[in-house]
Structure 1
Amino acid sequence: MKAVFKYIVVIILLLGVNSATAQDNKIEIVGMLVDNQSNQTIPYATVALYKNNSKEIITGTTSNDEGKFTINTSASNFYIQISFIGFKTKRITNFTVKNNKIDLGTIVLSEDNETLEEVVITGEVSKTVFKLDKRVFNIGKDISSTGVSALEVLNNVPSVNVNIEGEISLRGSSGVQILINGKPSVLADESSNALGTLTADMIESIEIITNPSAKYEASGTAGILNIILKKEEKKGWNGSISANTGTPDNHSVGISLNRRTEKFNLFTQIGVGYRSLPRDNEAVNRNLIDNEVIYSNGTAYRDETFYNITLGTDYHINDFNVLTLSGNFAYEVEDQPSKTNFSFYDSNNALISNWLREEVTDATNPKYQYELNYKKQFKNNKDHSLQLSALGRFFGKDQASQFKNTTIAGSNVNGNQQTDTEFQQSDYTFKADYTNPLSKTYSIEAGAQYLINDVGNDYEVRDFTDGVYVVNQDLTNNFEYNQKVLGVYFTVAYELDKWGVKAGIRLENTDLNTLLTNTNEANSQNFTNYFPSFHTSYKINDNVSFQAGYSKRIFRPRLWDLNPFFNISNNFNVRQGNPNLQPEFTDSYELTSIYKIGKASFSSSLYHKYTTEVVERVSTFADNVTTTTPENIGTNASVGFETNGKYNVNKWLVLTGDFNFNFFDRVGAFQEQSFNFSGNQWSSRLGSKIGLPADIDLELTGNYQSGFKTFQGDVTGYAFLDLGVRKKILKGKAVVNLGIRDMFESRISETFVSQPTFQTYSFSQRGRFVTLGLSYGFGKGEAMTYSGGRRR
């Protein structure tokens, strides 16, 4: 604690230093700080000038996000002292002044093991750091980031929302691209449901890129979320073991191990668990021509046993070359029972039939990925680098379903059916990225990416007719999907201490082919597009800065948007893909300000997006059956305002908030019906972290998502509250945590569709989730929690 006190005193003294020093004969002192073990830069370290033979401070500063610092002084008799919690304080007395400048170059700080053992780290709250073309959300040890999957961590990131369906939106817009360490990954692929295999303890930060530069793949009209995984740098054996239990069923055991040597970093994670995700559903189909109504309500379960293992190694060939080979294998066994009660009423509101539809679905899902990555850093500058990577991944599903209808009252309903699904997806990504800081102010980036997606979905439906199951040829087919995307890019940046600009261009060619093999229906698309980007920033002072940016984006239809097969779990409310769907294109403009007021820090943004060929979910109605299909319909122009901030009230209370308002103007038509309309939607989030006695932390997070108008109806708003409690034991080596998601069971999905000939209503709710976890870290590892859930 003495070390902590010393650093606090230094900071207080720095804040109190009189800035009105003499302007004549100023000396500029520059340098950069790095960790002696990891060679990583050290941000936010204290750099101070002291009078020789005295402890009187002259002036000081802190290193920036890149570990660099600059001090101006007119003093001539001083020494330089550099300090940071966890590192040995370094005093510099020998230096040379040349042309009124002292260039200290790269300064290496050594870890202070003794200080590390006695210091209590209190900066555990997640925080956002701003870069030229992105925001970086560093994951702290907040309760909401303990014992949860990556999907739930994303829901705590400013500007991001994850709805009850697991769909991710950024500033209210879907079409978000998820990357892992800057690259596509099976862990981030929506169709593989694998994002949940990442746990909060594995994540270092999340980059929020609302206006991506040309360096990034152009897909994702809402922007990019790049999940950066931790790199274990502690030598020796490190690891942790954890166990969770909860209701509804949420039980898992996991172990993480790491072995670090001078040349190798070996890592593995093994987990096994079982969980159940119940979901209550209601639906109403109202035929306005015949005045007939069908009501349905029931509960569906997704019970899952999962196994997961990750193995990998980093081989440090030398100080400038690193080779990484890693692989992951997961196997899931699913059981999806459901019961839905249906009631059919005629125009006089008389009951015609009432029946129970039961589903029994079994599935096995093998999935694996492997990655080879090579990174070379050049001797002249650590930021001068070349990175080559190759990623392969596979996801399979072998599923069988049995649907049984039992008549309860009224006329007999015979709708027994069976389905079989054999799904296989193989993806390959090859990337090359080159970065060269030509000078202290100029830098360039160049690279290429080749992406291959190859999918087959063999789907068969059988109807129970005259005592036997007969193949329904209208719903049975084999769907083949093949997409190849080749992209090349170049960017150039000019960045000073206060001002910077970055411009780039990306060229992408897309070759997409789909085929229904049984009917020989083929669809081919081949198109080439340019995607320019421009970003600039200006720092007025340490408390106020501005950013502005433009980029052009594309949203390519996903596999399940194109796959034309029905989901018949509820055969009166079915979803179907559209193989003729075209991509969306978006021009995105943004102006952001970042400012600090006392203990509070804020970020506010104005943004505008113009999207063509907008993909909308459109409902059609026939024979009392609602079919929802994606269609390209018109344009969408939106203007939005977003602000988020953090306020450190005192040492035991931190408040965070996020507010986003979006006004949109839609122009479009479907089936000769005009759908021109305007509307708005907004969301807000307020969180608090409270430090209680006995080393207990409490976190409360409240969320609200407003309702909004859709192409054919409305979506209802909702609010929900999450709570978390954490207790450290055994000097922090072990952690007990309790999490309650959706405490008041108020998080819902409710949609109304109102058209001249029909009206539909749908409602779903997952309910409250309670999880209790215990984790223990050994070696130099930290206590963490394994949660191997899948993305929904």
Structure 2
Amino acid sequence: MKTPFRLTLLAAAIAASCAVHAQQAPKPLAKEDKIQQVEVKGAADAYDPRRDDTASKIVVNHDEIVKYGDTSVLDVLKRVPGVTVSGTGGGRGGEIRMRGLGAGYTQVLLNGERAPAGFSIDSLAPDVIERIEVLRAASAEFSTQSIAGTINIVLKKTIKTAQRELKAGYGHGHDVANPSLNLQLSDRIGKLSYSLSANLSRSHFWREPATVERHLDTADRLDGLRLGHQSDAARFTAFNLGPRLNWSFDNGDTLTSQTFFNINRFQNASEGRLATRLGPLPAYPALDQTMSNDNRFFREELNWVHKFAGGGKLDAKLSGLYGALANATYRTGSGNPASPALHEVIFSAGTDRGISSMGKYTSASWEGHALAFGWDGGYSTRDDARRDRDYFRPDVALPGGDEVYNAHVARLAVYTQDEWNVTPRWSVYLGARWEGIQTRTEGNTFATAHSRSTVWSPLMQTLYKLPDTKGDQVRLAVTRTYKAPGLQSLIPHRFTSVNNSQTEPDFIGNPNLQPELALGIDASYEHYWAEGALLSASVSSRRIDGYTRNQVLFDGTRWVSMPSNAGQARTHGLELEAKFPLKALIDTKEALDLRASLSRNWSTVDSVPGPNNRLDAQTPFSATLGADYKRGPLTVGGSYVFKNGGQVRVSANQISYQSVRRDLDLYALWKFDPKLQLRVATSNLLAQDYISESSYVLAGNGTQSTRTITPLYRSVRATLEMKF
């Protein structure tokens, strides 16, 4: 039980010894020696962050991101080794996961910062992204709210040459139609460079999920059966705009303005019918719903970089954001004489405002060290309003229907880190980060609630390149990370379900939630034997204290789900990866690149009885296979993604289930000339249905279960890409 404390002391002692060594280091090199040192590092193209950075990192470049012509970043991420995306597929509504864990365990950043709650990552177009960084172990520079890892999505920044490119695409399938348009412009005017990225996409899709609700009595005899059918017709429109200006000054300073503007609108019309074959009727066997969601997100970022004469550098950033969300939901329910007819209109709106400042000072005063100090702070507010009205009398408020609440979040983090090249083969990264978050929520239906948390995170990573080998190296990382409660989990506001039951409960937040704290260790072995050829194996382990789970309880009138801290959890993982060109194995001139990855995850929650008491519906096994072949103007390739499912015991009484997921995607790219090319891609060629189930056991009453089957279909997409 003392292991976390001992490891924390060990990391702190290593950091202290590093600081002492830095103080006793020799005087800085002469100016001419520094210039010579920079020159011997070679061209920038020879630098590989995956191989050379002390901190473990996978970088997905822009060419890989746009390879399949995807319209959502979620479809891109599902092919990245060690990353899975939950949900039904199709790039909408899924959750990004590392080590099979979502629900806040995986940190997703936009340009190094968290996006507000109202921003939808799946509305982000791949064409506006410069690169995606996948960090398996935490670093002090980014927030340590990354128990599973961090995915940093970096918007387009680099302006190398003048560029004018237009892409027009159209995707079609049995259940989807998706046109899109993308424009990229960039150029230089003296010391001013600029770029503009604009993307417009629209998706129409149709879904017809079917449900089966069963109730078994205490003797496991069927005494309740309902068969449901739902018809969904939806439309999703997204617009991304990203202008960027960069000024270079005579003294070497740079000032960058990067703006990101996102608008998306989601509309859905749903008709649901529940046919009762056995047992009592639900409250509303016929439930129709029309919903519209409008989301606007604006972010402005100013980045100043100043280089000092002694070799130090200050990188400071000030950013502001504004987000607005508006929803309108129309519900009509009928079919049960015992329930009054439901004619309901719900209007809700939310506004996010925030300002933040990030900065890092890097010192070059000590040979072999990259010592840095930094900060990350901000203040944000969120205002929400909800009005519940009768459909036929929109001016008349229903009892308890109007709610107004707001939240204020202040956060501050300070950190220090040092990357120390101990020897030409051995480098050590040491860091420490302190983060504090304070939240205040108040509303007209609950008392003002306060939440405050602070976390201290010592971090250590090391890279050792084995002697007498060309490209073998090992990595080790020991980290302290955490998961802060989401804002909605803290607000004691109730979100109600229409047909309330054990498997469809209401939800209410808990202002007394505390962060989950994790102590982690990661180790890996990497073998590079040719250009572009890699074999790697990594293992990881996390011990999580203060694990949060949603408990479903009956409050006397309705079923309610509430998050609470409940004990300890452990998770372990194994990841294998291989990628190489065929010419690295045999003597050939064929341009064939192969890649494969495998992830196996285990976890247990001590407050939940087994079996299958895994964390957050953790994906136990996932794998990817891919290949790319190029001959002349033609490039073809494919990707197969496998994701295991199975049962998860959420609590002593509740079990959830997800089916196995298999995705097969293919693409072909034909270059007519340097300025014109056509990309054709197919997705979900296996057309596998998505199945999920939730069941709840109530002592003395029996078991209630709901199983949902969502049919999915193949689709094809063509994109014409023109440079002018």
Taking structure 2 as the reference length, the TM-score comes to 0.82
8 A contact 1:345–1:352 mirrored in 2: no
Residue in 1 aligned with 2:360?
433
Q: Residues 605-646 of structure 1, C-alpha deviation per residue, up to 9 Å, x if partnerless? A: 111101122222444468997654433222111222111111
Q: Residues 518-556 of structure 1, C-alpha deviation per residue, up to 9 Å, x if partnerless? A: 124222122322111011111013321000011111211
Q: Verify: 1:162 aligned to 2:46, yes or no.
A: no
**1:355 Cα offset (Å):** 3.6
Q: Verify: 1:211 aligned to 2:137, yes or no.
A: yes
**2:509 alignment partner, SS class:** coil
**1:744 Cα offset (Å):** 2.2
Residue in 2 aligned with 1:524?
450
Which of 612, 615, 630 pairs up with 1:691?
A: 630
Which of 138, 150, 155 pairs up with 2:60?
A: 138
Residue in 2 aligned with 1:722?
664
Residue in 2 aligned with 1:192?
119
How far apart are the structure 1 equivalents of 2:239 and 2:669? 28
Residue in 2 aligned with 1:122?
none
Q: Residues 314-373 of structure 1, C-alpha deviation per residue, up to 9 Å, x if partnerless? A: 1111362110112233333332211111234554xx878984311112333222111111
**1:487 Cα offset (Å):** 0.8
Structure-2 change in CA distance of 1:586 and 1:475 (3 Å): farther
How far apart are the structure 2 equivalents of 1:605 and 1:709? 25
Moved more, 604-613 or 749-758: 749-758
Which of 545, 565, 576 pairs up with 1:643?
A: 576
Which of 94, 106, 118 pairs up with 1:176?
A: 106
How far apart are the structure 2 equivalents of 1:297 and 1:620? 28
How far apart are the structure 2 equivalents of 1:276 and 1:774? 18
8 A contact 2:478–2:522 mirrored in 1: yes
Q: Percent identity?
A: 17
8 A contact 1:461–1:475 mirrored in 2: yes
Q: For residue 152 of structure 1, what is the amino acid of its counterpart?
A: D
Q: For residue 378 of structure 1, what is the amino acid of its counterpart?
A: F
**1:258 Cα offset (Å):** 1.1
Q: For residue 289 of structure 2, what is the amino acid of its counterpart?
A: E
How far apart are the structure 1 equivalents of 2:394 and 2:276? 26
Report matched runs for 1:377-392 at 5 Å: 377-381=307-311, 384-392=312-320
Structure-2 change in CA distance of 1:586 and 1:418 (3 Å): same
Residue in 2 aligned with 1:343?
275
Q: Verify: 1:734 aligned to 2:676, yes or no.
A: yes
Which of 484, 492, 495 pairs up with 2:418?
A: 492
Residue in 2 aligned with 1:634?
567
Q: Residues 174-214 of structure 1, C-alpha deviation per residue, up to 9 Å, x if partnerless? A: 22222233x2154xx45311453342x44343222222122
**1:302 alignment partner, SS class:** strand
Structure-2 change in CA distance of 1:207 and 1:696 (3 Å): closer
Q: Verify: 1:324 aligned to 2:250, yes or no.
A: no
**1:402 Cα offset (Å):** 0.8
Report matched runs for 1:141-540 at 5 Å: 141-142=63-64, 144-164=67-87, 165-174=93-102, 175-181=105-111, 183-184=112-113, 186=115, 189=116, 191-199=118-126, 201-235=127-161, 237-247=162-172, 248-288=176-216, 291-318=223-250, 320-347=252-279, 355-381=285-311, 384-407=312-335, 414-462=341-389, 471-474=397-400, 476-495=402-421, 496-515=423-442, 517-540=443-466
Q: Verify: 1:709 aligned to 2:648, yes or no.
A: yes
**2:582 alignment partner, SS class:** strand
Q: For residue 522 of structure 1, what is the amino acid of its counterpart?
A: T
**1:261 Cα offset (Å):** 2.9
**1:388 Cα offset (Å):** 0.9
Residue in 1 aligned with 2:713?
768
Structure-2 change in CA distance of 1:585 and 1:191 (3 Å): farther
**2:642 alignment partner, SS class:** strand
How far apart are the structure 1 equivalents of 2:271 and 2:94? 22
**1:419 Cα offset (Å):** 0.6
**2:123 alignment partner, SS class:** helix
**1:282 Cα offset (Å):** 4.0
Structure-2 change in CA distance of 1:392 and 1:473 (3 Å): farther
**2:444 alignment partner, SS class:** coil
Residue in 1 aligned with 2:8?
none
How far apart are the structure 1 equivalents of 2:411 and 2:427? 31
Residue in 2 aligned with 1:613?
546
Structure-2 change in CA distance of 1:614 and 1:689 (3 Å): same
Structure-2 change in CA distance of 1:764 and 1:472 (3 Å): farther
How far apart are the structure 1 equivalents of 2:456 and 2:526? 31
Count of equivalent residues: 651
8 A contact 1:213–1:533 mirrored in 2: yes
8 A contact 1:585–1:613 mirrored in 2: yes
Q: For residue 298 of structure 2, what is the amino acid of its counterpart?
A: Y
Residue in 2 aligned with 1:596?
528
8 A contact 1:724–1:737 mirrored in 2: no
Q: For residue 169 of structure 1, what is the amino acid of its counterpart?
A: R
Structure-2 change in CA distance of 1:192 and 1:277 (3 Å): farther
How far apart are the structure 1 equivalents of 2:357 and 2:691? 39
How far apart are the structure 1 equivalents of 2:329 and 2:613? 42
8 A contact 1:177–1:220 mirrored in 2: yes
**1:218 Cα offset (Å):** 2.0
How far apart are the structure 1 equivalents of 2:294 and 2:598? 41
Q: For residue 578 of structure 1, what is the amino acid of its counterpart?
A: G
Structure-2 change in CA distance of 1:676 and 1:353 (3 Å): closer
How far apart are the structure 2 equivalents of 1:232 and 1:514? 40
Q: For residue 509 of structure 2, what is the amino acid of its counterpart?
A: N
**1:745 alignment partner, SS class:** coil
**1:693 Cα offset (Å):** 6.5
How far apart are the structure 2 equivalents of 1:761 and 1:149? 30
Moved more, 541-550 or 677-686: 677-686
Structure-2 change in CA distance of 1:776 and 1:740 (3 Å): closer
Q: Residues 246-279 of structure 1, C-alpha deviation per residue, up to 9 Å, x if partnerless? A: 2212112221211223311111123333212444
**2:118 alignment partner, SS class:** helix
Q: For residue 401 of structure 1, what is the amino acid of its counterpart?
A: T
Which of 600, 607, 628 pairs up with 1:661?
A: 600
Structure-2 change in CA distance of 1:436 and 1:295 (3 Å): farther
8 A contact 1:144–1:156 mirrored in 2: no
Q: For residue 477 of structure 1, what is the amino acid of its counterpart?
A: E
What is the Cα-based RMSD across aligned positions, in Å? 3.2
Structure-2 change in CA distance of 1:742 and 1:240 (3 Å): same
8 A contact 1:689–1:697 mirrored in 2: yes
Q: Residues 578-613 of structure 1, C-alpha deviation per residue, up to 9 Å, x if partnerless? A: 132332111111111111357852111111101122
Q: Verify: 1:578 aligned to 2:578, yes or no.
A: no
How far apart are the structure 2 equivalents of 1:266 and 1:203? 16
Q: For residue 276 of structure 1, what is the amino acid of its counterpart?
A: H
In terms of Rg, which structure is larger? 1
8 A contact 2:438–2:453 mirrored in 1: yes
8 A contact 1:475–1:565 mirrored in 2: no
Unaligned 5+ segments in structure 2 are: 1-35, 88-92, 584-589
Structure-2 change in CA distance of 1:305 and 1:352 (3 Å): closer
**1:303 Cα offset (Å):** 1.2
How far apart are the structure 1 equivalents of 2:541 and 2:401? 42
**1:683 alignment partner, SS class:** strand
How far apart are the structure 2 equivalents of 1:404 and 1:561? 29
**1:571 Cα offset (Å):** 5.7
Structure-2 change in CA distance of 1:457 and 1:446 (3 Å): same
**1:158 Cα offset (Å):** 1.3
How far apart are the structure 2 equivalents of 1:461 and 1:644? 52
How far apart are the structure 1 equivalents of 2:676 and 2:120? 30
How far apart are the structure 2 equivalents of 1:723 and 1:214? 37
Residue in 2 aligned with 1:556?
484
